């Protein structure tokens, strides 16, 4: 630790950081635009200016950019010097000369980092009276709206899209203050990470077109913490709702999982929740609409006679799967996976349970110096993981830069120094993948050949002789490149349905650890809760093909149509019940359809690919006649609250003994108050239902969580799992996440939520 002096006060800080990040950590407000904690510093906007003094005798000082200034022992700076405050105000005024005064109609209005910084600088009156610089906007596809006139030239967008995410169809052209940030020709973005521009941009240049299609002001949204259900990474999200419709999805920071970014699947694939053409809004018995009481009575009648089989769901919550298993018995409970996929997921479970290889988080992988991807096209199966792996290519070359005192946060210097140099990232897959470009070497191999490569690596690490040839040379090349790496990550998964490859991956990680290379494994499971389901089921769906026909089949929230191999067995079932929120092939053949809630209308727990239990909460109550799948199943077994279900799971399933600790229970209060889902700026509550009743309706009561469906409640949230929005006085945009996280450092799990089942 070193000592710095800021406006006359001394602080103990970490050496090596830049001054802006240091001040953010200390809670000292310095305005900024171009800086982003994941992208580093470039000094483009000039807004983070401070005054630095040579020593205690220097009374004049000089203005420096805090994002580009490394902290040094004895450093003396002033943030509030009048000259530097005037400098920052002048920067804001110069930016506003061309910025339109369109806040009332701007999609970003009320949640705009530029607005926050303009207010902070004291700029209230525009003196500039000349013609503004204007641009033509581009069509950028169905998800991103472009409004180039609002640009303040901070370069964040191109630094994220091109440098961080590797996109090639977007860049910057022009000179001086006539810069254009856009595609080289109109058309949809090619990158699956393009949606992050909505949050990366500090103004309204790039905005969410899906929100624009059913727009509402940001302060009028009801928010809730959620988990992405589109892959097994388990990215943390914030869902926003208005008038019973999900209007947008934002990234929710989790240091160990998704950090500051998510993929476009998680951000934009929410419209199925609002789609009344495909949603199941009422339960049905045959062709007749049924009430809740009729559904429960019919199900109890079906369960009382004959043999009942159930198929669990990899996209339904742990709670719903557990209750379904309890209803039919473990021997009659099947996982919704093919035999090959089931065996692969079972192999992942076995590897994790053994504890022989450390289980990595995305943060661990992003910091690794070497990576080997075996048999997975990560960009397709787990996009956010692919983005993390892409960052590893610079980690080993970065060590060379640090030897000549180039800090990791100095983005342009690092980029120039590293150039085309890249770390030892290796990819083995039958087809070309997105990561090939960043890899030191990509191997085109069949599943059997990839397995052979893994076996050769194991043999070499064990000190055994291996036959000479191409595979041996490839394995030796990999190990030679890893020889001086501090850390190595092995990534595998279920795509090739090769369980031996998963076992070999764990063996490689274990042997590397024995050679004092910090290593671990990350196994990609097929869906959002495949691993959670695998901890409850003992058999795959394919086993039904040889099983006797059932008197009654219950299918829980299937996200696939009946397979050809399963159809003959299904025809032998007398009654088929499907618990589902949207129509598909299973609802077409069901005798009883139970209308279940989507992830936006229910609460539950997912287990992601690293074995991390994470909780999601409803952003809105379900409509009448719809209930969460766990609630339907709990009512069948005697009415239970969500907390009572969690307590039963913790008591009866060893792997889930800590499931009650994932998030606070429904009785959790701070100073006797719940945590609000709405911001203090929420408006229009009285008029929303004025056509029904002129009196203000009572907000719905959520009995299954500590969150309130209103703005009433405490601002003093003390648990990160309950963060529904990022909002603090003077900081209204998602750009301020790092500022807000600093303020929340006293909050339990503010930076990283969820509990690992296996803490290896």
Residues 6+ apart with CB under 8 A from 710: 676, 677, 678, 682, 685, 699
Query: What pLDDT shows up at residue 750?
Result: 72
Query: What pLDDT shows up at residue 514?
Result: 95
Query: What pLDDT shows up at residue 129?
Result: 87
The encoded tokens of residue 240 equal 């926003």
CA distances from 559 to 236, 578, 614 (A): 21, 11, 21
CA distances from 708 to 177, 214, 598 (A): 47, 24, 19
User: What residue spans in the chain does CATH classification 3.10.20.740 cover?
Assistant: 2-96
187: how many CB neighbours lie within 10 A of its CB?
Answer: 12
User: What residue spans in the chain does CATH classification 3.40.50.740 cover?
Assistant: 283-341+531-661
- 239-248 pLDDT, tens digit each: 999 999 999 9
Element (H, E) at 743: helix 737-743
Furthest-apart CA pair in the chain: how many Å? Answer: 91
Query: What pLDDT shows up at residue 691?
Result: 79
- How far apart CA 503 and CA 487 sit, in angstroms, is 20
> Hunting for tokens 């109609």 — which residue is that?
105
509-513 mean pLDDT: 97
Query: What pLDDT shows up at residue 760?
Result: 54
Burial of 468 (0-12, 13-18, 19+ CB in 10 A): exposed
515-523 mean pLDDT: 96
The encoded tokens of residue 302 equal 């079906």
717-202-620 Cα angle (round to 5): 40
Query: What pLDDT shows up at residue 746?
Result: 61
Residues 6+ apart with CB under 8 A from 363: 255, 256, 257, 259, 388
Which is nearest to 669 in space by CA: 608, 716, 630?
716
- How far apart CA 304 and CA 327 sit, in angstroms, is 11
- 216-234 pLDDT, tens digit each: 988 999 999 999 999 999 9
- How far apart CA 557 and CA 579 sit, in angstroms, is 5
pLDDT tops 90 at residue 684: no
- 381-411 pLDDT, tens digit each: 999 999 999 999 999 999 999 999 999 999 9
Q: What is the CATH number of domain 283-341+531-661?
A: 3.40.50.740
Q: Find residue 626's DSSP bridge partners.
A: none
Q: What is the CATH number of domain 356-525?
A: 3.40.228.10
Going by their DSSP bridges, the two strands 441-444 and 333-334 should be labelled as: unpaired
Q: What is the mean pLDDT of the chain?
A: 94
- How far apart CA 239 and CA 619 sit, in angstroms, is 7
602-721-385 Cα angle (round to 5): 90
- How far apart CA 219 and CA 206 sit, in angstroms, is 19
Query: What pLDDT shows up at residue 698?
Result: 81
Query: What pLDDT shows up at residue 743?
Result: 64
Right CATH for 2-96 from 3.30.950.10, 2.160.20.10, 3.10.20.740, 3.40.190.290: 3.10.20.740
Query: What pLDDT shows up at residue 91?
Result: 95
User: Over 125-157, what HEC string results?
Assistant: CCCCCCCCCCCCCCCCCCCEEECHHHCCCCCHH
Query: What pLDDT shows up at residue 683?
Result: 83
Going by their DSSP bridges, the two strands 283-285 and 592-595 should be labelled as: antiparallel
Asked if 365 and 491 count as a contact pair (C-beta separation under 8 A), the reply is yes
Q: Strand (E) positions, 600-649?
A: 604-607, 612-616
310-312-318 Cα angle (round to 5): 130
Backbone φ and ψ for 7, nearest 5 degrees, come out as: 50, 45
Q: Strand (E) positions, 9-95?
A: 9-13, 49-53, 62-65, 76-78
89: how many CB neighbours lie within 10 A of its CB?
Answer: 17
Backbone φ and ψ for 292, nearest 5 degrees, come out as: -60, -45
**Which has more confidence, 683 or 589?**
589
Asked if 678 and 218 count as a contact pair (C-beta separation under 8 A), the reply is no
Reduce the DSSP state of residue 554 to 3 states and report it.
Answer: strand
pLDDT tops 90 at residue 519: yes
pLDDT tops 80 at residue 748: no
User: What residue spans in the chain does CATH classification 3.40.228.10 cover?
Assistant: 356-525
Region of 740 on the Ramachandran plot (φ > 0 left; ψ -120 to 50 alpha; else beta): alpha
- How far apart CA 425 and CA 440 sit, in angstroms, is 5
Query: What pLDDT shows up at residue 744?
Result: 63
Where does the pLDDT of residue 135 fall: very low under 50, low under 70, confident under 90, or very high at 90 and above?
very high
> Hunting for tokens 């004895």 — which residue is that?
74
Query: What pLDDT shows up at residue 472?
Result: 97
- R_g over Cα of the chain: 28
Query: What pLDDT shows up at residue 254?
Result: 93
pLDDT tops 60 at residue 268: yes
Element (H, E) at 643: helix 642-652
- 430-479 pLDDT, tens digit each: 999 999 999 999 999 999 999 999 999 999 999 999 999 999 999 999 99
């Amino acid at each position: 630790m070193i000592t710095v002096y800021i406006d006359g006060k001394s602080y103990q800080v970490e050496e090596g950081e830049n001054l802006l990040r240091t001040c953010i950590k200390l809670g000292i407000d310095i305005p900024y635009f171009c800086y982003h904690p994941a992208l580093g510093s470039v000094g483009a906007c000039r807004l983070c200016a401070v005054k630095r003094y040579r020593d205690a005798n220097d009374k004049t000082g000089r203005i420096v950019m805090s994002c580009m200034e490394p902290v040094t022992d004895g450093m003396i700076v002033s943030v509030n010097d009048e000259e530097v405050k005037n400098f920052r105000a002048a920067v804001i005024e110069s930016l506003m000369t061309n910025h339109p005064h369109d806040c009332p109609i701007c999609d970003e209005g009320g949640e705009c980092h530029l607005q926050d910084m303009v207010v902070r600088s004291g700029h209230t009156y525009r003196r500039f009276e000349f013609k503004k610089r204007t641009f033509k906007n581009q069509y950028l596809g169905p998800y991103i709206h472009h409004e180039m006139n609002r640009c303040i030239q901070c370069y964040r967008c191109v630094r994220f899209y091109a440098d961080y995410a590797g996109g090639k169809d977007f860049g910057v052209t022009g000179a001086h203050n006539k810069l254009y940030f856009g595609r080289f020709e109109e058309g949809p973005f090619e990158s699956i990470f393009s949606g992050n521009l909505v949050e990366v941009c500090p103004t309204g240049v790039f905005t969410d077109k899906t929100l624009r299609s059913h727009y509402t002001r940001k302060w009028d949204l009801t928010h809730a913490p959620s988990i992405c259900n589109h892959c097994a990474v388990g990215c943390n999200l914030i869902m926003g709702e208005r008038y019973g419709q999900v209007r947008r999805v934002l990234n929710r920071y989790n240091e160990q999982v998704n950090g500051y970014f998510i993929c476009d699947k998680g951000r934009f694939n929410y419209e199925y929740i609002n789609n009344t053409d495909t949603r199941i809004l009422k339960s049905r018995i045959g062709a007749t609409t049924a009430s809740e009481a009729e559904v429960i009575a019919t199900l109890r009648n079906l369960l009382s006679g004959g043999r009942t089989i159930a198929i669990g769901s990899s996209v339904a919550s742990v709670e719903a799967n557990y209750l379904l298993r309890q209803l039919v018995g473990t021997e009659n409970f099947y996982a919704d996976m093919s035999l090959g996929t089931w065996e692969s997921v079972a192999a992942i479970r076995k590897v994790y349970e053994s504890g022989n290889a450390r289980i990595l988080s995305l943060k661990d992988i992003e910091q690794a110096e070497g990576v080997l991807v075996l048999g997975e096209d990560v960009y397709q199966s787990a996009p956010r993981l692919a983005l993390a792996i892409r960052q590893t290519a610079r980690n080993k070359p970065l060590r060379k830069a640090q030897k000549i005192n180039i800090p990791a946060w100095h983005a342009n210097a690092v980029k120039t120094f590293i150039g085309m140099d890249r770390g030892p990232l290796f990819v083995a897959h039958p087809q070309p993948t997105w990561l090939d470009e960043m890899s030191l070497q990509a191997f085109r191999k069949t599943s059997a050949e990839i397995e052979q490569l893994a076996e050769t690596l194991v043999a070499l690490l064990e000190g055994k002789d291996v036959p000479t040839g191409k595979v041996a040379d490839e394995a030796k090349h990999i190990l030679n490149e890893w020889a001086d790496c501090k850390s190595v990550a092995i990534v595998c998964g279920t795509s090739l349905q090769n369980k031996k490859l998963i076992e070999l991956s764990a063996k490689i990680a274990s042997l590397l650890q024995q050679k004092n290379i910090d290593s671990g494994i990350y196994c990609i499971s097929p869906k959002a809760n495949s691993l959670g389901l695998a901890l409850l089921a003992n058999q795959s769906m394919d086993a039904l093909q040889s099983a006797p026909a059932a008197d009654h089949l219950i299918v829980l929230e299937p996200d696939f149509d009946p397979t050809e191999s399963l159809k003959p067995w299904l025809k032998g079932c007398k009654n088929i019940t499907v618990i589902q929120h949207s129509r598909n092939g299973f609802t077409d053949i069901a005798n009883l359809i139970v209308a279940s809630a989507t992830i936006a209308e229910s609460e539950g727990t997912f287990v992601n690919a690293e074995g991390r239990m994470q909780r999601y909460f409803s952003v809105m109550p379900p409509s009448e006649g719809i209930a969460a799948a766990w609630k339907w199943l709990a009512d069948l077994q005697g009415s239970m609250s969500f907390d009572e279900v969690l307590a039963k799971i913790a008591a009866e399933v060893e792997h889930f003994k800590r499931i009650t600790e994932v998030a606070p229970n429904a009785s959790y209060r701070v100073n006797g108050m719940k945590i609000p889902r709405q911001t203090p700026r929420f408006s229009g509550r009285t008029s929303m239902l004025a056509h029904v009743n002129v009196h203000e309706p009572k907000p719905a009561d959520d009995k299954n969580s500590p969150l309130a469906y209103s703005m009433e409640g405490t601002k003093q949230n003390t648990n990160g799992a309950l963060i529904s929005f990022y909002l603090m006085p003077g900081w209204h945009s998602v750009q301020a996440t790092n500022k807000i996280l600093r303020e929340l450092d006293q909050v339990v799990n503010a930076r990283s939520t969820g509990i690992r089942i296996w803490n290896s």
